[in-house]
Amino acid sequence: MISIKNVSKWYGDFQVLTDCTTEVSKGEVVVVCGPSGSGKSTLIKCVNGLEPFQSGDIIVDGISVGSPKTDLPKLRSRVGMVFQHFELFPHLSITDNLALAQIKVLGRKEDEAKKKGLALLDRVGLSAHAAKFPGQLSGGQQQRVAIARALAMDPIAMLFDEPTSALDPEMINEVLDVMVQLAHEGMTMMCVTHEMGFARKVANRVIFMDKGAIVEDANKDEFFGSPRSERAQAFLSKILQH
């Protein structure tokens, strides 16, 4: 579904991604972890072309993200993305946040889009908040709306860029619950996250990045049981200590 081939990226002289290669198959859940500044967020933003890259290629559902001929908006409309800071549109109600892109991008009728949005809002347990504005919801609620907004586009895969990093601890689980449910339903997911509990529970594979390179790309049990690289061992021992 998503195949990343030898992707490198520079900001001026500084190399942020070095020869990254990996694959996410249909229905697979892949967790990307690593210390901050390791390029995980940059890599996931390359997948839907939010960040350009200078060499290599990324193929999503048979379409090359790097090719200048690719209709990026169209490709992005088929790949859902959830951000660290939610990024709901603050000037629109929750209902309109859910409906906007369905109407303007997919060309759905307004009542159809709103109905679909409400159904998804119900699924993330927030149907009572449809008429509110994003500023009136808690962080956890906003992030659940953001997930519903992405799902409303009927995506073939979902990208999560540190979806719980900006949340208060007691709100993390309500978001992870929604993500776990999605994973169980067979959604193809690529998640940048530090939530190792989530990774243990639903990930098929774990990718560990350091200094812009993929250091370890292993199935879950292998990664948590016996990581090959010293860097990943050190990282795991630090974050799993407590």
Partner 1 sequence: MDFSSLVTAMPGLVSGMMLTLKLLVLAIVGGVALGTLLALARLSHNKLLSNLAGFYVNYFRSIPLLLVITWFYFVVPFIIGWLTGTNEPIGAFYSCLVAFMMFEAAYYCEIVRAGIQSISRGQVNAAYALGMTYSQTMRLVILPQAFRKMTPLLLQQSIILFQDTSLVYAVGLMDFLNSARSAGDIVGELHQFLLFAGLVYFIISFGASTLVKRLQKRLTV
List of residues contacting partner 1 (CB under 8 A) = 45, 48, 50, 72-74, 76-81, 83, 85, 87-91, 100-101, 104-106, 149-150, 153
Q: State which residue, 151 or 218, has the beta carbon closest to partner 1.
A: 151
Select from 193, 206, 203 the least CA-distant residue to 162. Answer: 193
Q: State which residue, 89 or 224, has the beta carbon closest to partner 1.
A: 89
Q: How far is the CB of 4 from partner 1 (least distance, A)?
A: 18
Q: State which residue, 124 or 153, has the beta carbon closest to partner 1.
A: 153
Q: How many angstroms separate the CA atoms of 133 and 115, rounded?
A: 18
**Could you tell me the maximum CA-CA distance found in the chain, to the nearest angstrom?**
55
Question: Which three-class secondary structure state does DSSP give residue 18?
Answer: strand
Q: How far is the CB of 27 from partner 1 (least distance, A)?
A: 22
What would the two tokens of residue 188 be?
């193809």
- Supply φ then ψ for residue 77, to 5 degrees: -65, -15
Q: How far is the CB of 104 from partner 1 (least distance, A)?
A: 6
Q: How far is the CB of 112 from partner 1 (least distance, A)?
A: 17
Q: State which residue, 79 or 215, has the beta carbon closest to partner 1.
A: 79
Instruction: DSSP letter for 222, please.
Output: H
- Cβ count within 10 A of residue 233: 14
Q: How many angstroms separate the CA atoms of 2 and 24, rounded?
A: 5
Q: State which residue, 72 or 180, has the beta carbon closest to partner 1.
A: 72
Q: How far is the CB of 49 from partner 1 (least distance, A)?
A: 8
